[in-house]
Amino acid sequence: MDVELALIAERLKIQLPYLRADKNDKRMAHDFLERFVAQGKKCFQKRTDKDYVAYSDAIEAFDKADRLLVSWANRASHSFDVVRPEAVKLIETCEKALDFFECSSCGKRVWFADAEGSESVQCQCGQIRWRYGRA
């Protein structure tokens, strides 16, 4: 999640505070998910019949993944004794959160290269989009 979310954050131009020295390059999944939840409320949108609305299902999935990562995958707050059901639930929750970046209609990610503009990126069919700087 640390690597995948860092790549996604770069593509979506997520606003992150600058951290000094190595801390800037060694962000963890929590740092990114926290921003996806906060900025996603205004930036991550799904098309309805008439207009775009906040993609609340995705925001809830990001928040749920963040809570599990903080409680079960945080070395500082949890031992390495994660039992199999916890590990399975954590992996499934994280994978489900990542799936929201892919459109269920066209199968393209929200940052589809041919659908990039100065204000937003979107999937190929325009079903989901991320608006830059709307947070």
Find the angle CA(42)-CA(58)-CA(97) to the nearest 5 degrees. Answer: 135
- HEC string of the chain equals CHHHHHHHHHHCCCCCCCCCHHHHCCCCHHHHHHHHHHHHHHHEEEECCCCEEECHHHHHHHHHHHHHHHHHCCCCCCCCCCCHHHHHHHHHHHHHHHHCCECCCCCCECCCHHHECCCEEECCCCCEEEECCCC
pLDDT band at 47 (very low <50, low <70, confident <90, very high): very high
CA distance 81 to 95: 21
Percent of the chain with pLDDT over 90: 53
Q: What is the mean pLDDT of residues 30-58?
A: 94
The pLDDT confidence band at residue 86, using thresholds 50, 70 and 90, is: confident
Which residue did the predictor score with more confidence, 131 or 78?
131
Residue with the two structure tokens 């990001």: 62
**Rounded distance between C-alpha atoms, residue 98 and residue 48, angstroms:** 21
